[in-house]
Amino acid sequence: MTPGPLRTLSFIALRQPIPQSHVVRVRGKLAYHHVKQLKEMDLISYDKIGRSRLLRTTITFADYFNLNHDPLILKKELKNVLDLTTQVQSQRAQASDSSEQS
């Protein structure tokens, strides 16, 4: 999966359930294509709400990324992973800065 759809998927996972119109507003018009691709991969599902769709991740998504099936727990797990990733990136940047100064 390329970075664009992956970013759209993470945006949906962290904010689910979320209207597709909001995803498109934030991620841009390519999000329509991303949503179609993610739906075909069975990583997201949606319910029609008026003219928009309410997007959420599927059990396939949770299984693929080894996450809990409960959406509330899944969100917490994702936030923990993102926090750890941010910490590691910050530590790498600090280590790089200090090695350049030496």
CATH number of 3-101: 1.10.10.10
pLDDT bucket at 42, cuts 50 / 70 / 90? very high
Percent residues over pLDDT 90 in the chain: 66
Sheet (strand 18-19) strand order: 18-19, 52-57, 44-49
> Between helices 30-40 and 3-15, what is the axis angle to 10°?
80
Over residues 55-67, the mean pLDDT reads 95
Where are the chain's structural domains? 3-101
Q: For residues 9-35, b (16+ Cβ closer than 10 Å) or e, as one string?
A: bebbbeebebbbebbbeebeeebeebb
